[in-house]
Amino acid sequence: MTGTPQAPARRMRRTERREQILDAATRAFARAGYAATGLDEVAAEAGLTRAMLYRHFDSKADLYRAVLDRACLRLAEATGLDDYDDTALPALLRAATADPDGFRLLFHHAAREPEFRDLIDSITAASAEITRRNLAKLIPAGPWLDWASQLIPTLTIEAVIAWLNAGQPDPEQAPGRISAVIGGAIAAAQTGTHPAEM
C-alpha cells in the first residue's frame, strides 16, 4: 500500500517549547495553585513528558517562578510602572483579559504561597508607593493617606479578579465601574474628622 509520504513533524525551537510549557503551566497552576499541582499535571496540560519539562526547568519551583515572572513582566509591559492616569485601569483590565490565568496566579495563588510571597510583597509595596504619590495630590498626609495607599491597590486587584470571575461583563463599562469603587475609597479618605473619631 502506497500513500502520500508525511512530512516529518517540525521540532520546536527551545524558546517556543519553553513558551508552550509556560502557557500550559500557567493554566495548570491557575486551577489549583502551586502546592496542589504536580508536574505530571503540567506535563499532561502541555502534551509532553515530565522528562521534557526537566530539560527546560530544574524543578517545579523553578517552573512556577518562571510562570510568575512572565505574568509580572506582561503586566508591567501592559500597564507601565510609574503613574496612574486615565489609561491605567483600562490597561490593567486589558492585561487581565489577555492573561487571566497569569493574573489570578499573581494576585490570588502566589499571595497565599509563602515560598513565592516575596514577589507579591514587592508588587504590593511598589503599588502602594505609586498610589501614595498619586493620592498625595488629593489627600492630606497622615493616616488616611496611609490607609488609602494600602487599600486602593488591593481593592483594584480584587475588583478586577471579581470581574474576571463574573465572566468579564460589559468590558467597555468595567473601567468606569471599578473607578467608581476606587473613587468611593478616595472620597472616604478625604472625609474630615467625624464626631465618632474624636
Superfamily (CATH H level) for 14-192: Tetracycline Repressor, domain 2 (1.10.357.10)
Name the pLDDT band for 57 (thresholds 50, 70, 90). very high
Residue 182 amino acid letter: I
Q: Are 97 and 171 in contact (CB under 8 A)?
A: yes
Domain ranges (residues) in the chain: 14-192
Q: Are 63 and 25 in contact (CB under 8 A)?
A: yes
Cell of 162: 471579581
> Which phi and psi (to 5°) does residue 137 adopt?
-75, -20
User: pLDDT by residue (tens digit) across 61-118?
Assistant: 999 999 999 999 988 888 876 667 788 899 999 999 999 999 999 998 888 888 888 8
- CA 128-134-135 angle, to 5 degrees, is 85
DSSP structure class, residue 112: G
DSSP 104-155: HIIIIIGGG-GGGHHHHHHHHHHHHHHHHHHHTTTS-SSHHHHHHHHHHHHH
User: pLDDT by residue (tens digit) across 152-187?
Assistant: 999 999 999 999 999 999 999 999 999 999 999 999
